[in-house]
Chains A and B, each alone.
Chain A
Amino acid sequence: MISDIASHAMLVAVLACFAAACAAPPLLTRLGTVLGGRLLALLPLILLGVLLSGFGAEVAAGGAVVQSLAWIPGLSVSASFLFDGLSMLMAVLVLGIGVLILTFAASYLDGDDRAPRFFAYLMSFMGAMLGLVLSDNLLLLFVFWELTSVTSFLLIGYDHEDEKARKSAFQGLFVTVAGGLVMLAGIIVLAEMAGSYELSVILAGEDLHAAPGAGLALALIAIGCFTKSAQFPFHFWLPNAMAAPTPVSAYLHSATMVKAGVYLLARLHPVLGEHAHWFWWLVPAGSVTMLLGAVLAFRSSGLKRVLAYTTVMALGTLTLLLGLGEAGAAVSFLLAHALYKGALFLVAGIVTHESGAKDIRDANGLARHMPVTAVAALIAAASAAGLPPLFGFIGKELLMEAGQHGPVLVRVMALLAGALVAAMVATLVLRVFFSGDGRANPKAAHEAPWSMLAGPVVLGIGTVLFGLFPGLATDSMLAAAAKAAGEEGKFYLALWHGFNMALLMSTVSLLIAVGLFLGWPAMQRRFAAWTVPERFGAEAGYGRLLDGILGIASLQTRLLQSGYLRYYVMTLLLVLLTLTGGTLLARTGIIVPAGADFGSYGVPAVMAAIILAAGMAALRTRTALKAVLALGALGFGVALVFLWYSAPDLAITQVMIETLTTILLVLVLFRMPRFRRLSTVAERARDVVIAVSVGALMTALVWMVIGGRQFPSIASWFLERSVAEGYGRNVVNVILVDFRALDTLGEIFVLALAAVGVYALLRGPAMLESERSKP
């Protein structure tokens, strides 16, 4: 039993998160938000301990663990999980930052009566995200991928009474789920190419990038990843996602979920990185996103909005690095960004929570009131700006160095984006914490409790430690992650690379940043007044797309849903004529009944004449009663056909039913008025044309059916068994009461229902009347 659990440790870990999600609401209601939330925070800590102690050493040495449980073998879906360097890095981020976020949220949401729900969503997200980064099966990965989108939707729309939050939640869901579906197509193409849905098998395959279809798989998966990781032109949903509570922004929309796209690209880098299109998909998207994110961050002033746009910039950078083939640099930057951006978001949360300020310009001099937060913020900002000796410096050096291997344009863009972001984080931290006297804040500020400080402080310690001793990071995780992401050769990091081009570029970037920082108040106003991004940007395009969809929907509703029965019938017939008739004409031309022998059989011709004459009479008569007579004649004509062609049972039934119908119609219809002419000559002519065309089409179809039987009849089965198994010599009867008796039972039900309905309609109102008239 124990060994069973150990051999499915990853599955159990994922399920534990979902179980905790179910347990969260009662737990928090019983114990209160603070205690319950902190208790939940223990779970990721335990899971982290279990995973690292179980597989950490093996994976850090470059190994990989696969655990598989057959789930739906027929569909190639298995609950299989892969733990290698890349998974480990992501799992550590998901669980480690998860601990801090849960602890933070427990205090942050204290007093909010919706907190139980919040924690249920957050734990579900944690399970989905953990499943995503641990999945070995691509279909399983897709399921978790969409689950993170759904939980993200729930968390963005947490404040569901706010219209903006609801809109933003839908926008995030729409963009990421649509992208996810595109990705699913890519996954299928990839798996068909590789012959397996298991990542461990796909990654072992050589030369997959050279297989036909690799370009298509790459394109589809890249689009999916771009939507999830907020790459241009899908970047707009991420800043709007800031409607979620701050712990969510720090966790989902900065440290983990938005990295899912980058994660998958890094995953597939070893097999698709050699493809000729890899560079052209990732580098342009990544570099544009990087610069755009930096520019948009610079023109914002809301605390979380600035951080959201710098996150867009970082995600662009990651895509760019992967596009340039710098997997080691990408995973290092990913770790650095998770550390400092997670901290900055939590700091922003503390600032808003403790001082009420939501905008850079609303807060000032907070360092006096919250010194610990200020120091943590300073460290995170310095790391984000790329100052030594912090881990962010190493990340930025790697970016500048990677730029050397890319086009000049990319180098310039990286330099500019770096400068803008550095200026922006400096503005954020210095203006909020270190300028002014700290009096003019929206409310009297004070330091946050330890549970909220733990996040920024722990992340800050990580930033400093990994910066001073990069070996700590590489030996424990990054080297293995870089290897898993396709970095060739031994990967190592160093704080000091000597005087080289990258250092020069970093320095130039920082100098520009100083200038930008000093000029920010004036430049921000001017930038913000420039409304081209709002009017013509991707988000405006998204709005137009949604409007277009709604417009088409209402247009086709107006066109098709007229509310008149005759137009519905007409639509159906025209579609039938166009599709079936058109196909018939296109495939076979005008049908000439080959060998049609009209004259040799007198009886069929007479029967046809009776039926058609009766039908026409029913059409042309002016009173309902005459129509009933015509219909009766028609029905008996049909009975004659049945009789002539070896169907005595049908003939008997038809005669009986026809008699009943005629009596019923006479009873009811003789009270109806004479028909009036309700339609114009033109309308009738139009209907005649349509009706005649459909009639001709049906004749042609019947003729074709008679002409060519495609399959042998299954009637012989019934004929052979009728006496032997059904003990009856009238095969039609045996079928009805024996072989297909359930059909007959259904038929009886239909008739009974119809009878009840008729009775209720005809007698019900009268009965109601008499009820009412009783005293």
Chain B
Amino acid sequence: MAVWLAITVGGLYGCAFYMLMRRSITKTLIGLILLSNAANLLIFVAAGLTEAQPALIPADSYLPEPGTADPLAQALILTAIVIGFGVLAFAMALIYRAHEVLHVDDFDALKDADE
């Protein structure tokens, strides 16, 4: 099963980096979203996959059942998802403003405007 996810992670990284190498500013934003998803999945897969055993402790016990999923990696990913959204929102606002001012969607045009 993990091999499918390994391929998914690799595929997402490939897509993300392809988009990050575009000249279009909007496309790099898409690349950023893809990259963020790829990274989250990478950590998730690397922490080990557990089916149907969420890190919840039964009401009648102090300890979880053996074989429970890794809660630490999940906590880290949860933080990463939220922060990724913050970064994305900011990047989007930047791009939007750049487009509003310069009316271009091309990094090379930005470079010219800089000079």
Contacts and interface: CB of A to CB of B under 8 A. Distances in A.
A758 B18 CA distance: 27
A747 B2 CA distance: 30
A675 B70 contact: no
A690 B78 contact: no
Contact of B90 (A724, A736, A754): A754
A653 B81 contact: yes
B15 to A, nearest CB: 4
A438 interface: no
Contacts of A706: 2, 6, 45-46, 48
Interface in B39-74: 40-42, 44-59, 61-64, 68-74
A607 to B, nearest CB: 7
Given A645-B50, A688-B18, A715 B70 contact: yes
A696 B10 contact: yes
B3 A597 contact: yes
B71 to A, nearest CB: 4
Q: Tell which of B30, B62, B84, B94 has the most Cβ of chain A within 10 Å.
A: B30
Given A694-B14, A695-B10, A754-B89, A645 B44 contact: yes
A650 B15 CA distance: 23
Contacts of A641: 5, 8, 41, 44
Given A706-B2, A754-B86, A619 B75 contact: no
Contacts of B72: 713-715, 718, 735
A597 B70 CA distance: 23
A747 B96 contact: no
Contacts of B30: 618, 627, 631
B107 A675 contact: no
Contacts of B11: 611-612, 615, 695, 699
Given A668-B96, A702-B5, A732-B55, A661 B83 contact: no
A715 to B, nearest CB: 4
Given A635-B37, A736-B78, A665 B8 contact: no
A695 B16 CA distance: 9
A702 B10 contact: yes
B4 A598 contact: yes
B76 to A, nearest CB: 8
A695 B3 contact: no
B23 A702 contact: no
Contact of B21 (A690, A696, A713, A720): A690
A729 B78 contact: no
Interface string A710-741: 00011100111011100001111001100010
| Chain B interface residue number, banded | 35 or more
Interface stretch (A291-299, A396-404, A565-573): A565-573
Nearest to B85: A657
A475 interface: no
B75 A673 contact: no
Given A611-B12, A646-B51, A731-B64, A678 B79 contact: no
Given A618-B15, A647-B44, A730-B56, A566 B21 contact: yes
Contact of B71 (A566, A604, A735): A735
Contact of A650 (B49, B59, B77): B77
A758 B93 contact: yes
Interface string A663-693: 0110011011101101100000001101110
A698 B15 contact: no
B9 A698 contact: yes
A644 interface: yes
B69 A645 contact: yes
Interface in B74-115: 74-75, 77-79, 81-90, 92-97, 99-100, 105-108, 111
B23 A678 contact: yes
B49 to A, nearest CB: 5
A751 B83 contact: yes
Contacts of B46: 702, 705-706
A565 B107 CA distance: 8
Given A645-B44, A678-B106, A694-B13, A605 B79 contact: no
B82 A646 contact: no
Given A646-B51, A665-B92, A692-B14, A731 B26 contact: no
Given A675-B26, A730-B55, A569 B93 contact: no
Given A672-B99, A718-B72, A754 B17 contact: no
A645 B49 contact: yes
A719 B79 contact: no
A14 B62 CA distance: 65
A73 interface: no
Nearest to B17: A691
A70 interface: no
A687 B53 CA distance: 41
Nearest to A759: B93
A702 B111 contact: no
Contacts of A679: 22-23
Interface of A: 563-566, 569-570, 573, 593, 596-598, 600-601, 604-605, 607-608, 611-612, 615-616, 618-619, 624, 627, 631, 634-635, 638, 641-642, 644-650, 653-654, 657, 660-661, 664-665, 668-669, 671-673, 675-676, 678-679, 687-688, 690-692, 694-700, 702-703, 705-706, 709, 713-715, 718-720, 722-724, 729-732, 735-736, 740, 743-744, 747, 750-751, 753-755, 757-758, 761-762, 765
Given A730-B55, A758-B93, 18 more contacts: A634-B34, A638-B41, A641-B41, A644-B51, A645-B49, A650-B44, A664-B92, A668-B93, A687-B18, A687-B22, A691-B15, A699-B7, A718-B71, A723-B63, A731-B64, A751-B83, A757-B90, A761-B96
For the complex of A and B, the 8 pairs showing the least CB-CB separation, nearest first, are A695-B14, A699-B10, A754-B86, A646-B69, A691-B18, A731-B71, A735-B75, A731-B55
